[in-house]
C-alpha cells in the first residue's frame, strides 16, 4: 500500500482526536514514534523472511539514494558516508546495490578486505571495485585515481533518514495497521485517554 510517514501520523492523530478533544498532541513526537514503530515492524518482517531461508527481500522495500559524494581519507582509501541508517540484516542484504549512473555495480566484500587478501590474486576482484561497511562509512577497495567516481548511488532497505516525511513508501497493509494501533495505544497511555471497554456480555 502506498503511504507516507506523514499520512500514517495523520491517521493516528485523527483517531486520538476522535477519542478526546482535550488531548494536546505533539506532532513531532508522534512522527518520531511512527518512525520507530515502522522501523521495528519492518525489521522483524525482514528477519522472518531471512529466517525462512528466503534469499530475496521484496524489491518494494528498497529505495535508491543518488549522488553520494566519494572522498579519500588520510590512509588513501576512497569512501562515502552511508546516507541513512538502515535495517541490519543477515548477509548484508540491507544494501542491495552500490554503483554509478553508468550501470557499473560494485562488489560487496568482507570488512577489512584489503588486509585479508593483500598479495593474493583475488584482491584484484577481476578489475571490479568492492565495498564494505565500516561504522558510518562504506570503504571502497580496488579503487584508485583512475577509476574513482565523484559520486555513487546506493539502493538500501527502508533508508528512513534519507526519506522525507511525505515521500511515498510501499508498506504492507498489515504493518501499517500494526503501526497505527501500537502508536495510538502508546499515546492513549501517555495522554491518559480512557480506552473503550470491551462488552463481553458479562454483567
Q: What is the pLDDT of residues 25-64, one digit of tens each?
A: 788 889 989 988 988 888 887 777 655 555 566 777 888 9
Q: What number is the average pLDDT over the span 153-161?
A: 88
* Residue position matching grid coordinates 552500490: 98
Residue 136 lies in a domain: yes
Q: Is the pLDDT of residue 103 over 80?
A: no
Helix, strand, or coil here: 7?
helix
Q: Are residues 15 and 70 in the same domain?
A: no
Q: What number is the average pLDDT over the span 161-170?
A: 87
Three-class DSSP labels, 77-145: CEEEECCCCCCCCHHHCCEEEEECCCCCECEECCCCHHHHCCCCHHHHHHHCCEEEEECCEEEEECCCC
> To the nearest whole number, what is the mean pLDDT of the chain?
83
Task: Tell me how far apart the alpha carbons of residues 131 and 143 are, in angstroms, rounded to a whole number.
Answer: 9
The percent of residues above 90 in pLDDT, for the chain, comes to 33
Q: Are residues 108 and 154 in the same domain?
A: yes
Axis crossing angle, helix 5-19 with helix 27-51, rounded to the nearest 10: 120
Q: Which helix (H) or strand (E) segment is 173 a member of?
A: helix 173-191
Q: Are residues 19 and 47 in the same domain?
A: yes
Q: Is the pLDDT of residue 141 over 70?
A: yes
Q: Are residues 100 and 84 in the same domain?
A: yes
Residue range(s) defining the domain that contains residue 140: 59-160
Select the more confidently predicted residue: 196 or 126. 126
Q: What number is the average pLDDT over the span 126-143?
A: 91
Q: Are residues 35 and 113 in the same domain?
A: no
Amino acid at each position: 500500500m502506498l503511504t507516507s510517514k506523514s499520512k500514517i501520523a495523520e491517521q493516528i492523530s485523527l483517531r486520538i482526536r476522535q477519542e478526546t478533544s482535550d488531548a494536546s498532541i505533539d506532532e513531532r513526537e508522534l512522527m518520531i514514534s511512527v518512525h520507530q514503530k515502522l522501523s521495528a515492524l519492518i525489521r522483524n518482517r525482514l528477519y522472518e523472511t531471512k529466517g525462512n531461508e528466503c534469499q530475496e527481500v521484496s524489491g518494494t522495500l528498497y529505495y535508491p539514494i543518488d549522488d553520494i559524494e566519494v572522498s579519500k581519507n588520510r590512509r588513501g582509501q576512497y569512501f562515502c558516508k552511508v546516507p541513512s541508517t538502515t535495517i541490519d540484516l543477515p548477509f548484508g542484504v540491507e544494501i542491495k546495490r552500490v554503483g554509478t549512473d553508468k550501470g557499473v555495480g560494485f562488489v560487496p566484500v568482507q570488512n577489512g578486505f584489503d588486509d585479508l587478501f593483500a598479495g593474493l590474486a583475488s584482491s584484484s576482484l577481476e578489475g571490479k571495485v568492492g565495498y564494505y561497511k565500516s561504522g558510518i562509512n562504506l570503504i571502497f577497495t580496488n579503487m584508485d585515481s583512475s577509476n574513482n567516481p565523484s559520486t555513487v548511488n546506493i539502493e538500501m532497505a527502508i533508508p528512513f533518514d534519507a526519506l522525507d516525511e511525505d515521500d511515498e513508501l510501499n508498506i504492507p497493509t498489515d504493518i501499517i495497521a500494526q503501526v497505527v494501533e501500537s502508536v495510538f495505544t502508546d499515546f492513549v497511555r501517555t495522554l491518559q485517554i480512557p480506552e473503550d471497554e470491551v462488552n463481553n456480555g458479562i454483567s
